[in-house]
Structure 1
Amino acid sequence: MYCIGNHYRVFCTLMRGGTSKGAILRTIDLPTRSEQRDRLILRLFGSPDQNQIDGLGGGTSLTSKVALVGPSHFSEADISYTFGQVSLDKEVIDYAPTCGNMATAVGLYAVEEGYVEMTEPVTYVRIFNTNIKRIIVAEIPVSGGQVQYEGDFSIAGVPGSSARIMLDFPHSEGAFTGHLLPTGQPTDRIELSYGRSYEVSIIDAANVVVFIKAEDVGLTGCELKEDIDRVNGSIGIIEEIRVAAGRKIGLIDKEQEVSPSSHALPKIVFVASPQDYVTANGHSISRDDCDILARYISMGSLHKAFAVSGAVALAAASKIEGTIPNQALSANASKTSLSIGHPSGLLYVEANIKRAGSGYQVLRSAIGRTARRLMDGYAYIPISVLKRNEVVAQQ
């Protein structure tokens, strides 16, 4: 990081990974103290501001993401990756959750930046994700000594097609709580302050996700964003359930004031059995083409597609008898894969779960993604963000 006139200049790579877009920053280029680093990143994104008009953020939770990367200190990994969800309306970066979509971008970045030796036809990138303290494996297609960008693989929520990148989350169970089922039960009963209770399944795989039945909160599972907005109180009830579940397993302190932007975990998803529905792009999805309908809530709003880490948790939950996702599964669902119907289309996940003593292990949970480098350059941060006498990292 350099001081140029009245600005700091920080090298930045903008990348799309899956249905997310964010900035990849090298840890060597950032202040060493976390509070200084976060002030710089918030200013880089233009937060707090819902539009992020004075920064690189895109004004949505899907485009307000940061990946901090550097060499891994572990011999089992090629690169270290820390994910941060940059708040739109608060001076907060949440490092509690992870993001599989941005992990896809990090895998591609690692190959192109030489963190791992390129091999054909697939280069396996072992990413140590500091958020969950697990290794994620990105399988990057390579041809003719170069990353293969062109291909016929497409994902819902991203126009066009390109080469497929498989992202595997082996042994992702218990990333935050130590157990795939944090409470030890496939379902639990959550009671809200006004006395009504809801059945939930809490799953810890890649991220901690709370699953509820769509019908329990007055929904069908086919909703798009505008549909949910029309159902009075549904988002409020969903948020109350999320917070109550988080407190039940100790992720949220009982005395803390909580909002969707201040506490990204746990995530929450409502599910339903397969039905015919129409996507946000107007495409018709047949009930015969999906195994389950699911809607993922991110920072208080409906996700335009479906989060990768959420799909890992959903795939795991669907294979455990008695969970809410398992109850909603199609009778014809495969034992090793899952087709998720979400607002933008379908998401395919491969899953292999096995019993291990009184719990479960995730042997494989792999998702097909695409990614692309969009831009390299320098981001300029006013020097007023950091005091002149504070020591910052120098390249």
Structure 2
Amino acid sequence: MFDFGKLVKVPTTIMRGGTSKGLILRKVDLPSDPQLRDHMILRLFGSPDSNQIDGLGGGTSLTSKLALVGPPSRSGAHIDYTFGQVSLEKNVIDYKVTCGNLITAVGLYAAEEGYVALTEPVTEVRIYNTNINKIIVAEIPVENGQIKYEGDFSIAGVPGVASKIMLNFLDSGGTFTGKTLPTGSPVDTVWLQDGRRFEISFVDCSNPVVFVRAHDVGAKGTELHQEINGNKELLDTLEQIRVQAGIKTGLIRPDEIVHPSTHALPKIAMVAAPADYITSSNQMVPAGDTDILSRYLAMGTLHKAHAVSGAMALAAACQIPGSIPNQLTTSSGSGVRVGHPSGILYVEAKVEQHKSSWSVERAACGRTARRLMDGYAYIPYSVLAAHDR
């Protein structure tokens, strides 16, 4: 952090990871006081403002993401990574969640910045994710002593092709609650205040996710953004289900005032059996090309594609007998092809049963990432002065 006259400039890297985009900030360049640090970061992003017009945020939940990085604080790791979801509407950065997409960017960043020595053909970057107290391994392709950027791997929701970066979430069951099935049951029932009840499956793998049948909430599971984001009644029902599931598992206190931007966990997704559907780019996806359909919500709106962590939870759920995803999927193995608004996401999970509990030894998927720019982000010096008063 540097004083630049009446402006403060902060070294900043902007990267895309998977279908997300965010700022990579080094902890050493920011104030040690967490409140002052977050005050600065919110100003860098241009929050609170739904358009983030006066900052570097992109005006959506997928482009308002933060990665705080630094030297490893845990043995066996190459880099520390703390994820923050920067609110558009409030002066809030949510650190109680993680983002699999942005982890891809952090893995590439660590390899580019020399946090790990490059080895061929794959350099394993061990990332300590402080949000979930887990190590994630990103496999960075290396050729002729250099990072291999070009490739033929593509992901739905991102134009073009690049080299594939595999993400391996190790021992990812019970990340936030301590149990892969937080309630101990593959199916539970939640009651809403208006008397309606819904069956859900609650699975905690990388992120805690509530799965509900699309049919049960009056949907098909093939909907795109306008159909869901424009349906206030559906969004309200899903939010109530999410909150009740959070209360049931202790992630939300019964007396809390809850909003998607203040309580990101648990996540929620509508799932359905495979069916033909048209993607947001007007491409036909035949039913036979997917194993299950999922419509995943982020900060109260439909995700433009699908969160990686949510897909890993879904892959784990598909292998747990009796769960709602297990009832709907056509997959009989560890790999699951998830049909989402932008296309198909392939994800794997290795799930094992131990008497009445379940563990997820490994959850993995392939992503791409790219450094977009390096430079300095500027904020008025008065922002710091105002905080000190």
Do these two structures clear the TM 0.5 threshold for a shared fold by scoring above it? yes
User: Which residue does the alignment assign to 1:393?
Assistant: none
Per the TM alignment, residue 232 of structure 1 is displaced from its structure 2 partner at its CA by 5.2
User: Which residue does the alignment assign to 1:377?
Assistant: 375
Deviations 1:232-277 (A, max 9, x none): 5001100111111111111111111111111111100000000000
Q: How many equivalent pairs are there?
A: 388
What aligned pairs does 1:24-173 form with structure 2 within 5 A after superposition?
Answer: 24-173=24-173
Distance between the aligned counterparts of 1:231 and 1:86, measured in 2? 25
User: Which residue does the alignment assign to 1:387?
Assistant: 385
What aligned pairs does 1:1-395 form with structure 2 within 5 A after superposition?
Answer: 1-231=1-231, 233-330=233-330, 333-387=331-385
Deviations 1:30-75 (A, max 9, x none): 1111111110000000000000000000000000000000011212
Per the TM alignment, residue 12 of structure 1 is displaced from its structure 2 partner at its CA by 0.5
Q: TM-score, normalised by structure 2?
A: 0.98
Distance between the aligned counterparts of 1:256 and 1:289, measured in 2? 42
Deviations 1:253-312 (A, max 9, x none): 111111111111110000000000000001000100100000000011100100000011
Per the TM alignment, residue 358 of structure 1 is displaced from its structure 2 partner at its CA by 2.6
Deviations 1:55-96 (A, max 9, x none): 000000000000000011212111000000000010000001
In structure 2, the gaps of 5 or more residues are none
Q: TM-score, normalised by structure 1?
A: 0.97
The code of the aligned residue for 1:205 comes to C
Does the 8 Å contact 1:57/1:64 carry over to 2? Answer: yes
Q: Secondary structure at the match of 1:73?
A: coil
Does the 8 Å contact 1:155/1:347 carry over to 2? Answer: yes
Per the TM alignment, residue 159 of structure 1 is displaced from its structure 2 partner at its CA by 0.2
The code of the aligned residue for 1:154 comes to S
Q: Secondary structure at the match of 1:295?
A: strand
The code of the aligned residue for 1:200 comes to I
Considering only aligned residues, what root-mean-square deviation do their CA atoms show, in Å? 1.1
Distance between the aligned counterparts of 1:181 and 1:382, measured in 2? 47
The code of the aligned residue for 1:114 comes to G
Distance between the aligned counterparts of 2:228 and 2:175, measured in 1? 30
Deviations 1:316-339 (A, max 9, x none): 111000111111112xx1412000
Distance between the aligned counterparts of 2:358 and 2:72, measured in 1? 28
Does the 8 Å contact 1:218/1:231 carry over to 2? Answer: no
Distance between the aligned counterparts of 1:232 and 1:57, measured in 2? 25
Distance between the aligned counterparts of 1:388 and 1:272, measured in 2? 50
Check 1:111–1:261 CA distance in 2 against 1; reply closer, same or farther (3 A cut): same
Does the 8 Å contact 1:318/1:325 carry over to 2? Answer: yes
Deviations 1:133-168 (A, max 9, x none): 000010000111111110000000000000000001
Q: Secondary structure at the match of 2:178?
A: coil
Per the TM alignment, residue 108 of structure 1 is displaced from its structure 2 partner at its CA by 0.2
Distance between the aligned counterparts of 1:367 and 1:221, measured in 2? 22
Per the TM alignment, residue 6 of structure 1 is displaced from its structure 2 partner at its CA by 1.2
Distance between the aligned counterparts of 1:207 and 1:198, measured in 2? 21
Check 1:230–1:119 CA distance in 2 against 1; reply closer, same or farther (3 A cut): same
Distance between the aligned counterparts of 1:387 and 1:116, measured in 2? 38
Distance between the aligned counterparts of 2:303 and 2:229, measured in 1? 13
In structure 1, the gaps of 5 or more residues are 391-395
The code of the aligned residue for 1:324 comes to I
Does the 8 Å contact 1:157/1:344 carry over to 2? Answer: yes
Distance between the aligned counterparts of 1:375 and 1:165, measured in 2? 20
Check 1:103–1:229 CA distance in 2 against 1; reply closer, same or farther (3 A cut): closer
Distance between the aligned counterparts of 1:145 and 1:280, measured in 2? 39
Deviations 1:143-202 (A, max 9, x none): 111111100000000000000000011101111110000111101100011111111111
Q: Secondary structure at the match of 2:170?
A: coil
Q: Secondary structure at the match of 2:126?
A: strand
Deviations 1:334-360 (A, max 9, x none): 412000000000000122111124311
Q: Secondary structure at the match of 1:169?
A: strand
Q: Secondary structure at the match of 2:385?
A: coil
Per the TM alignment, residue 229 of structure 1 is displaced from its structure 2 partner at its CA by 3.9
